[in-house]
Amino acid sequence: MGLTYAELTLTNLFTNQRVQVNALVDTGATFMCVTEEVALQLGFDITEVRQQTVTLADGHQRKVPKIAPIEIAFANRNYVTEAVVLGNEPLLGILPLEAMDLVVDPRQQALIVNPQHPNYPVALAK
């Protein structure tokens, strides 16, 4: 099984600055993660934002900048959220995946809208 990437449009909702990114889809991650370069392209000053404590894959905890509000857009879906500034490539975690009702198709190594709800996202509320 290989890695899955998706083309996303990220928008800073304060300034309407947009950036297109090719993000790694990671169902083991929680948040949307962006690089420092992407945060700056979106117009955020990462020295003036809140911090989020995250646990890295190796078990270490670290405080990282958290930018908000951003909109994530993919296909006919969008989600307003926050993102942590971390790593060397954008990463799409499980919170935005669930909120936008997206699924990973492992055969095609592709991110797709949920085929059970092709026209709009449906969230599980139970």
Looking at the DSSP bridge assignments, the partners of residue 40 are none
pLDDT in tens, 11-50: 999 999 999 999 999 999 999 999 999 999 999 999 999 9
CB atoms within 10 A of CB 61: 8
CATH of the domain at 33: 2.40.70.10
In a domain, 49, yes or no: yes
Residue 20 falls inside a structural domain? yes
Terminal Cα-to-Cα distance of the chain (whole angstroms): 31
Q: What is the pLDDT of residue 104?
A: 95
Does some domain include residue 118? Answer: no
- pLDDT at position 123 is 84
Q: Is residue 91 part of a domain?
A: yes
Residue 125 located in a structural domain: no
User: Looking at residue 118, what is its pLDDT?
Assistant: 95
Q: What is the pLDDT of residues 52-86, one digit of tens each?
A: 999 988 999 999 999 999 999 999 999 999 999 99
Range of the domain at 90: 5-113
Taking residues 95-118, report their average pLDDT. Answer: 95
pLDDT for 1 equals 57
The DSSP code sequence of 43-103 is T--TTSSEEEEEE-TTS-EEEEEEEEEEEEEETTEEEEEEEEE-SSS-EE-HHHHHHTTEE
In a domain, 123, yes or no: no
What total number of domains does the chain contain? 1
Query: Does residue 121 lie in a domain region?
Result: no
For residue 3, give the amino acid letter. Answer: L
The helix (H) or strand (E) run that includes residue 37 is helix 36-41
Residue 92 lies in a domain: yes
Which residues, at least 6 apart from 57, have a Cβ–Cβ distance to it below 8 Å? none
Q: What's the pLDDT score for residue 45?
A: 96
CA dist 57 and 105 (Å) reads 24
